[in-house]
């Protein structure tokens, strides 16, 4: 069935035709709403068109769609059972894998979505300290629960009580927020790098990361790194390892199981008791198939040396696309880690240029996003990057035509 026919049916039975960030109405008009297949670094839409996929399911796909090793591990577990009366042995195996690989981690707990993991971290931090106030960077996304959703419809002021804001990468504003929290500071929660919607991405500076750690130590508060988007793409064990800063708690999801639904919280020994005493759970949090997929994914990330591969491809894309844009006199800003790029255009307040760029690129076989982090994966090849560069060149011509 065609994308148009599916949309017409969905309009009758799904509020808005699709909810949240996945509503294709937020994208250029030629973008598909429905996908029928993914394989390696490609996806197919309901009309049978295939694209080099630079969204990777918004991050979860890190090895490639339907990775054979991961799917074989998932199938073996599925043959025994997925949703049982309690966890399968693979729960312990996965927790051991995380504790072995993540330097700050002495224990792990599992959930389904990134929002579950960030919310669990905040709950543990409050339980650990007996305090309420959490510092959250303005504009950072930590999920869609009432305490953190960026769209306040249906939430109350009290859902967001006991939060103070700071500016990402601004140690002074972090210090001011910590002072304002005074003796009530429970935690600082911070994304692994600045990847707020529609603004240039920024890696965390060492000064900012060290200030966050020092403030938490001084106030007896917990440092939480939200690794949901960046986790396992920047560093094998923790995105701030390169900065020499370790958190007390980390929230993981997306890439952890190569597309299978899983999230995790890891924590240091000092907070084991707080993690034990909070009551956090869900009917599907112990499902064994995603955990088997996660064990295989983590092993394959190492076996295939994925991070250097996606860095190489991302660097080539950044350099060659930058040269194409300069040659055409188009003001294109590429930001963030090369393996998680964002493309924004100068003088583009309403995203007309970004939309024209992505619409043309889509027509030439590359699925990009006009204002969100994109993702490279292990299955992408140099020839995929060739195709993306060709599609992007068509996109740049479309931007030029806008004047
Ligand atoms: C940094 C970050 N935290 C939390 C979340 C929420 O994850 P989920 O959508 O799986 O609940 C996201 C999702 O994009 C994210 O990027």
Q: What is the pLDDT of residues 151-164, one digit of tens each?
A: 999 999 999 999 99
Q: What is the pLDDT of residues 77-123, one digit of tens each?
A: 999 999 999 999 999 999 999 999 999 999 999 999 999 999 999 99
d(CA 228, CA 256): 9
The pLDDT, as a whole number, for residue 214 is 98
pTM for the whole thing?
0.98
Average pLDDT over residues 330-338: 98
Atom number in ligand 1 closest to CA 227: 1
The pLDDT, as a whole number, for residue 178 is 98
- Residue 158: count other Cβ atoms within 10 Å of its Cβ: 9
Whose Cα sits closest to atom 14 in ligand 1?
Answer: 229
Ligand 1 centre to CA of 218 (Å) is: 29
Average pLDDT over residues 307-335: 98
Ligand 1 centre to CA of 327 (Å) is: 36
Pairing of strands 50-53, 42-45: antiparallel
Q: Which tokens is 337 given?
A: 């880690």
DSSP secondary structure, 5-25, as one string? HHHHHHHHHSGGGS-GGG-GG
Ligand 1 centre to CA of 58 (Å) is: 9
Ligand 1 pocket check for 142: Cβ under 6 Å: yes
The pLDDT, as a whole number, for residue 200 is 98
Average pLDDT over residues 206-234: 98
The DSSP secondary-structure symbol of 247 reads -
Average pLDDT over residues 317-336: 98
Residue 63 φ then ψ, to 5°:
-95, -30
The pLDDT, as a whole number, for residue 309 is 98
The pLDDT, as a whole number, for residue 66 is 98
Q: What is the pLDDT of residues 337-353, one digit of tens each?
A: 999 999 999 999 999 99
Q: What is the pLDDT of residues 41-73, one digit of tens each?
A: 999 999 999 999 999 999 999 999 999 999 999
Whose Cα sits closest to atom 7 in ligand 1?
Answer: 114
Say how many CA atoms lie within 13 Å of 188 toward its Cβ. 35
Nearest to 121 by CA among 203, 27, 223, 194: 223
DSSP secondary structure, 321-370, as one string? HHHHHHHTT--EEEES-TTS-EEEESS-TT-HHHHHHHHHHHHTTEE--S
Atom number in ligand 1 closest to CA 191: 1
Q: Is the pLDDT of residue 403 over 90?
A: no
Ligand 1 centre to CA of 155 (Å) is: 18
Ligand 1 pocket check for 231: Cβ under 6 Å: no
Ligand 1 centre to CA of 330 (Å) is: 32
Ligand 1 pocket check for 147: Cβ under 6 Å: no
d(CA 239, CA 231): 7
The answer for 355, left when phi > 0, alpha when psi is -120 to 50, beta otherwise, is: alpha
d(CA 276, CA 315): 43
Q: Is the pLDDT of residue 25 over 90?
A: no
The pLDDT, as a whole number, for residue 98 is 98
Ligand 1 centre to CA of 110 (Å) is: 15
The pLDDT, as a whole number, for residue 197 is 86
Ligand 1 pocket check for 228: Cβ under 6 Å: yes
Ligand 1 pocket check for 260: Cβ under 6 Å: no
Average pLDDT over residues 360-384: 98
Which range among 13-22, 58-67, 323-332, 372-381 shows the weakest confidence by mean pLDDT?
A: 13-22
Count of positions (residues) in the chain: 403
286 close to 110: Cβ distance less than 8 angstroms: yes
Pairing of strands 249-252, 222-226: parallel
Angle at 258 between CA 386 and CA 264, to 5 degrees: 135
Ligand 1 pocket check for 297: Cβ under 6 Å: no
Average pLDDT over the chain, rounded to an integer? 97
The pLDDT, as a whole number, for residue 282 is 97
Q: Which tokens is 55 given?
A: 């969204």
The pLDDT, as a whole number, for residue 265 is 99
Ligand 1 centre to CA of 119 (Å) is: 11
Nearest to 42 by CA among 57, 55, 53, 30: 53
């Amino acid at each position: 069935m065609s994308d148009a026919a599916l949309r017409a049916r969905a309009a009758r039975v799904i509020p808005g035709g699709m909810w949240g960030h996945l509503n294709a109405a937020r994208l250029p008009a030629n973008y598909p709403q429905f996908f029928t297949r993914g394989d390696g670094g490609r996806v197919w839409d309901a009309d049978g068109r295939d694209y080099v996929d630079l969204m990777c399911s918004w991050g979860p796909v890190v090895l490639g769609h339907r990775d054979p090793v991961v799917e074989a591990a998932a199938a073996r577990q599925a043959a025994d059972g997925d949703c049982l009366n309690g966890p399968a042995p693979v729960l312990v195996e996965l927790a051991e894998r995380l504790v072995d690989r993540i330097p700050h981690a002495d224990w792990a707990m599992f959930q389904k979505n990134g929002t579950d993991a960030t919310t669990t971290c905040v709950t543990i931090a409050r339980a650990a300290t007996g305090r309420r106030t959490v510092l959250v960077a303005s504009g950072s996304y930590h999920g869609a629960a009432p305490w953190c959703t960026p769209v306040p419809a249906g939430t109350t002021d009290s859902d967001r009580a006991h939060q103070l804001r700071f500016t990402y990468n601004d140690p002074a504003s972090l210090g001011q927020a910590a002072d304002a929290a005074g003796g009530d500071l429970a935690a600082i929660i911070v994304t692994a790098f600045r990847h707020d919607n529609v603004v240039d991405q920024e890696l965390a500076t060492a000064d900012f990361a060290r200030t966050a750690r020092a403030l938490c130590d001084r106030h007896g508060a917990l440092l939480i790194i939200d690794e949901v988007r960046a986790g396992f793409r920047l560093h094998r064990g923790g995105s701030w390892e390169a900065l020499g800063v370790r958190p007390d708690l980390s929230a993981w999801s997306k890439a952890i199981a190569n597309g299978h639904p899983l999230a995790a919280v890891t924590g240091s020994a000092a907070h084991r008791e707080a993690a034990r005493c909070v009551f956090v759970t869900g009917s599907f949090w112990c499902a064994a198939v995603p955990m088997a997929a996660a064990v295989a994914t983590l092993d394959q990330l190492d076996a295939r040396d994925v991070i250097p591969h996606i860095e190489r491809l991302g660097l080539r894309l950044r350099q060659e696309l930058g040269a194409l844009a300069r040659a055409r006199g188009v003001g294109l800003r590429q930001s963030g880690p090369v393996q998680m790029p964002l493309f924004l255009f100068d003088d583009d307040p309403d995203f007309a240029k970004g939309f024209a760029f992505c619409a043309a690129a889509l027509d030439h076989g590359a699925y990009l996003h006009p204002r969100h982090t994109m993702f490279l994966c292990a299955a992408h090849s140099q020839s995929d990057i060739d195709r993306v560069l060709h599609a992007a060149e068509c996109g740049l011509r479309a931007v030029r035509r806008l004047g």
